[in-house]
Structure formats: C-alpha cells, structure tokens
C-alpha cells in the first residue's frame, strides 16, 4: 500500500522524526471517511476523560492523601501518568492510523490472539462504560423527576438508544454534539472554580494560613505519618483520568493523523490536568481536608456552601451534563473496535458494514447500544465501573509496552512521531498500571479473578473461531 501523505514536518509535534516522512496504513480502515480534525479530536480526548470521576474521586484522594500538598501531588502525578500513556500510544496511533486503536496496536505487537483477547473482553467492558454513564445521568435526573429503580433503568436505556441513533446517522453530528457537551462541562467546572474564589474568603478551607499556636488538623496530622497511603490515593485519581486511550479507537477517521494525534492527545490531557488541579484547588480553598475526605459528592457541598441548599440542583445538572458528554464520546468511539475486528475476519463480518449513505459503522453502533442497554438493566453502577477498570487496564499496559517491542522487532517501520522521554515514559506508565492492577486484585479478588477468567476464555473462543473459518475477507459495504 502506498505511504500515507500526512507526514510530520520537523518541529510540528514533540518527538518528531524528520527521517520518517510517512505513516503506515494497515487493513482497510480508510473506508470510514477521515473527518475528525484537531479540534474535534482534542474535544474528544477531553470528553472521554472528564465524566463522573471528577465528582467522585476527590473525596477518596483526600481521605488517603490527608494534606493539601499531598492531594495536589497525587492529582499531578495521576495526570502525568495518564500523559505518559497518551504520549506513548500516540506513537502507535501515528504508525497504524486505523480504526480499533488498542486492537490494532495489540495485533501489530503480539499478533491476532492478543488482539482477539482484547476484542473479546471489550465486547463486555466497553458497553459497560456507556451503560454506567447512562445510569449516572438517569440517577441524577431523578433529582428533578422522581424515578423508581425501574424508571431509572428505562431512562438510561432511552438515553443510550437516543445517542446511538445519532451515531448511526452521522459521525460528524456526533462529533459536534460531543464537542459542544465537552465545552459546556469544562466551562461549568471552570465556573465552580470561579465561584469558589469569588464568593468565599477561604478562611475555613485547607489553604488558609493556620492561626498562630493552633494545632494541625487531625486528618492532616494522621496523614503526615503514612506516606504509603499516597499509593492508594493515586489509584482513585487514576480512575478519574481514565478514558484518554479511547481516542485511538477512531484512528481511521482522524485527518492527518501524524500531526493530529500527538497534538490532540497532548493538548487534551493538558486541559484535563489543568481543570482537575483547578477544581481540587477550589475545593481545598472552600473546605478543610477533613470535610473534603468525608464528602462523597464534594461539588455539591462546595456549591451548597456558596449558594445555599438550592445548589444541589445545579450540581445535579452539572453531573448529568458531564456524564452525558462522556457517554456521547463513548458511543462514538467504541463501535470502531468491533468494526476493525470484523474487517480483519476476527468477528462477524456484518459488523464491518459501512452505511452507504451515512458512512458510519452502523451495525457495530447497534451492537454497542444493545449491549449497553442490557448491561444497564442487569448491573449496578459500581459493578459496571469495576468491570470496566479491571477489563481495560491490563490491555492498556500491554499496548504501551508495544512501543519498545515494535521498536525492537520492526525498526524499519516509519515513525513520524516518536515518544518523547523514551523509554522512561512508556515504562513509567506500565509500572503505574501494574501497581493499579495489583491494588485492585488485593481489594477485590473475586471480581478481578472473574474478569481475568473471562479474558482467558477468549483463547479457546479464538481457536474455535479460526477453525470455523474466521479469516480475513473482502470489506462489507451495504
């Protein structure tokens, strides 16, 4: 196949390689039109990360970190770890700019069995993330319209179907909807920061100067004695930074990937890190660490402190907006994994169909929507979230580890973009990911074993699929 025309000129992105003027196109991912530019990709990167995590994780981080300084350290470290992963995956995304993201990278680095194992696992864990987000929106919708448990699940299902209907008809429309939602939720979070500093004097917050002779807060004193808790706090922060890797799922639809991917991922993660640090600074400006640590919905407490009891409705609307934006981003990106698998003959060929008029992977979109609706009806939010984290993170580590593996095995493949800080950047991410997985395994051994068992079940399924004749075939267009 001729080289892709989108080269990365010297100096246009960090870690560029002037001697490698082309990217590699594998498969037939270009059947989906490349219509996502830099701003759309950047908004997608931000939208995939900033969901409900920023409203739930600050309390857990504060409880384990204990002091304002250590809280800032944990959130900064979490953002830098996520950034390391993004910078490493950008190298693979530029080398193999096709739909599927992690699936394509695992196939190139380890072969079809590993790629199939990810796709098999993703069949459950990716729709689980969409289901979890829809459940969050539905639960907070209950603040405005009282809902029973069944009513909450019906609202979640209707939301999934509605978003999937847009994804079925238009990638560009989904991108515009997602960009609008991302801009709105980032603006709303910035608004919380602005209100905190404008309406409060900070006298009662963790950032206030201590009164002369006053003893340190009990929570701060206790935390100062146990730095080991920082690792536990980091796990909670990394949950809030989760999702950036999903931008690679739409690799076959990003314009000029050699330029766009590194810039979009770097800019997106920089925005997320800045917003998260600003929001947590605002929380600490208004509340003491002890209150922050004991508040599962800290944004509601801050807004109630600033605006009174009616502020709970404002926060509920903000959480709904944030979770909805991430739901849109997930429904836009996730079907591309199954589309890419079907193109390679590792899944039902029908899922590789491209709509003749809308130019979308419409059958794969319908599959993700159906799976998400079923999971939203069967599992709780906590079960859905746990299923997502345990299922995805091992493959994230393997994908990033693919950077040094492919450099050694395939040194001649053009690399228009090279990971800056190599090999420390990818290895730092892999080490942090392994630490997260060990922590999860210790805290939740049964669910972790069940998730790993389901992934391993993909091995005999893969063998059976190949024996049944699952081989690459011509692209499907209907």
Alpha-carbon 438 to chain mean position: 20
**pLDDT tier at 328, thresholds 50, 70, 90:** very high
Distance CA 342, CA 89 (A): 23
Pairwise CA distance, residues 87 & 317, whole Å:
33
d(CA 418, CA 15): 5
User: Does residue 138 sit within a domain?
Assistant: yes
Give me the sign of the Cα torsion angle 131, 438, 463, 473.
positive
In a domain? residue 224: yes
Domain range enclosing 44: 32-208+219-466
In a domain, 81, yes or no: yes
Here the CATH number for the domain that contains residue 190 is 1.20.1740.10
CB-count exposure of residue 362 (10 Å: 0-12, 13-18, 19+) = buried
> For residue 4, is pLDDT > 80?
no
What is the CA angle 152-155-160, rounded to 5? 125
Contact between 351 and 100 under an 8 Å Cβ cutoff? The reply is no
- Secondary structure element (H or E) that encloses residue 167, with its range: helix 149-169
Per-residue pLDDT of 70-108, as tens digits, reads 899 999 988 999 999 999 999 999 999 888 989 999 999
What is the average pLDDT value for the chain, to the nearest integer?
A: 82
Residue 247 lies in a domain: yes
Higher pLDDT, 239 or 356: 356
pLDDT band at 16 (very low <50, low <70, confident <90, very high): very low
Taking residues 299-310, report their average pLDDT. 83
Model's pTM, two decimal places? Answer: 0.81
Length of the chain: 478
CA proximity to 332, closest of 31, 27, 40: 40
User: Cα–Cα distances in Å, from 332 out to 145, 268, 365, 366, 381?
Assistant: 28, 17, 8, 11, 21
Alpha carbons 254 and 248: distance in angstroms, whole number = 9
Task: Let me know: does 477 contact 353? Beta carbons within 8 Å.
Answer: yes
Q: Is the pLDDT of residue 302 over 80?
A: yes
SS3 162: helix
Which pLDDT band, with edges at 50, 70 and 90, does 382 fall under? low
pLDDT of residue 446: 80
Instruction: State how far the Cα of 250 lies from the Cα of 198, in Å rounded to an integer.
Output: 40
Phi then psi dihedrals of residue 455, to 5 deg:
-60, -45
Interatomic CA distance for residues 56 and 212, integer angstroms: 34
N- to C-terminal Cα separation, the chain:
24
- Which segments within 54-179 are labelled E, that is strand? none
The structure tokens listed for 369 are 């929507």
d(C-alpha 378, C-alpha 201), whole Å: 46
Using a 10 angstrom Cβ sphere, with 0-12 exposed, 13-18 middle and 19 or more buried, the burial of residue 445 is exposed
Question: What angle is formed at CA 14 by the lines to CA 23 and CA 261, rounded to 5 degrees?
Answer: 50
Give the DSSP H/E element, type plus range, for residue 391. helix 381-409
Q: Which residue is listed with tokens 């997985």?
A: 437
Query: pLDDT by residue (tens digit) across 188-242?
Result: 899 989 999 998 888 888 887 665 444 444 444 444 436 557 777 887 788 788 8
Distance CA 264, CA 415 (A): 17
Does 24 map to a domain?
Answer: no
Report the distance separating Cα 200 and Cα 418, nearest Å: 46
C-alpha span between 94 and 30 (Å, rounded) = 14
User: Do residues 145 and 139 make contact, with C-beta atoms less than 8 angstroms apart?
Assistant: no
449 lies in a domain?
A: yes
| pLDDT at residue 8 tops 60 | no
Sign of the CA dihedral running 132, 133, 134, 137: positive
Instruction: Give me the numbers of helices (H) and strands (E) for the chain, helices first please.
Output: 18, 0
- Asked if the peptide bond before residue 423 counts as cis, ω within 30 degrees of 0, the response is yes
pLDDT for the residue 27:
41
pLDDT of residue 15: 42
**Count of the separate structural domains present in the chain:** 1
Neighbours of 202 (CB within 10 A): 15
Question: Is there a domain that residue 80 lies in?
Answer: yes
CB–CB of 143/313 below 8 Å?
A: yes
The reported pLDDT for the residue numbered 383 is 63
Is 453 within a domain?
yes
Residue 6, classed as helix, strand or coil, is coil
How do residues 21-73 score in pLDDT, each as one tens digit? 333 444 444 578 888 899 999 999 999 999 877 887 888 888 888 888 889 99
* Least confident range of 111-120, 139-148, 433-442, 451-460: 433-442
The Cα–Cα gap between 22 and 110 comes to 23
């Amino acid at each position: 196949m001729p080289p892709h025309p989108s080269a990365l000129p010297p100096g246009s992105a960090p870690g560029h390689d002037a001697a490698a003027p082309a990217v590699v196109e594998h498969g037939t991912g270009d059947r989906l039109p490349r219509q996502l530019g830099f701003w759309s990709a950047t908004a997608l990167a931000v939208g995939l990360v900033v969901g409900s995590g920023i409203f739930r994780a600050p309390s857990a981080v504060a409880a384990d970190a204990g002091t304002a300084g250590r809280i800032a350290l944990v959130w900064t470290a979490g953002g830098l770890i996520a950034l390391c992963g993004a910078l490493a995956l950008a190298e693979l995304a530029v080398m193999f700019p096709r739909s599927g993201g992690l699936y394509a990278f695992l196939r190139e680095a380890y072969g079809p069995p590993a790629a199939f194992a990810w796709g098999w696992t993703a069949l459950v864990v990716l729709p689980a993330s969409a289901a979890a987000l829809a459940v969050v929106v539905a639960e907070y919708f209950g603040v405005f319209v009282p809902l029973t448990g069944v009513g909450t699940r019906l609202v979640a299902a209707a939301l999934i179907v509605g978003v999937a209907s847009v994804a079925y008809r238009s990638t560009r429309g989904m991108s515009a909807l997602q960009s609008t939602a991302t801009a709105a939720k980032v603006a709303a979070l910035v608004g919380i920061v602005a209100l905190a500093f404008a309406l409060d004097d900070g006298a009662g917050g963790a950032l206030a100067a201590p009164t002369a002779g006053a003893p340190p807060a009990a929570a701060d004193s206790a935390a100062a004695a146990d730095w080991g808790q920082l690792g536990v706090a980091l796990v909670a922060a990394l949950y809030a930074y989760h999702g950036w890797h999903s931008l690679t799922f739409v690799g076959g639809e990003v314009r000029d990937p050699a330029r766009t991917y590194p810039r979009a991922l770097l800019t997106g993660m920089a925005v997320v890190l800045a917003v998260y640090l600003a929001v947590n600074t605002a929380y600490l400006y208004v509340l003491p660490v002890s209150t922050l640590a004991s508040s599962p919905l800290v944004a509601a407490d801050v807004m109630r402190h600033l605006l009174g009891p009616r502020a709970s409705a404002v926060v509920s609307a903000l959480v709904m907006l944030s979770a909805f934006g991430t739901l849109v981003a997930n429904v836009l990106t996730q079907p591309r994994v199954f589309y890419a698998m079907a193109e390679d003959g590792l899944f039902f060929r029908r899922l590789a169909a491209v709509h003749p008029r809308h130019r979308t992977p419409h059958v794969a979109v319908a599959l993700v929507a159906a799976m998400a609706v079923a999971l939203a009806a069967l599992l709780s939010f906590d079960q859905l979230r746990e299923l997502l984290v345990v299922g995805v993170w091992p493959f994230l580590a393997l994908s990033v580890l693919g950077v040094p593996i492919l450099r050694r095995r395939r040194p001649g493949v053009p690399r228009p973009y090279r990971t800056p800080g190599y090999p420390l950047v990818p290895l730092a991410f892999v080490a942090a990911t392994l630490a997260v997985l060990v922590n999860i395994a210790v805290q939740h051994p049964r669910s972790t074993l069940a998730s790993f068992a389901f992934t391993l079940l993909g091995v005999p399924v893969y063998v059976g699929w190949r024996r049944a004749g699952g081989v690459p075939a011509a692209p499907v267009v209907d």
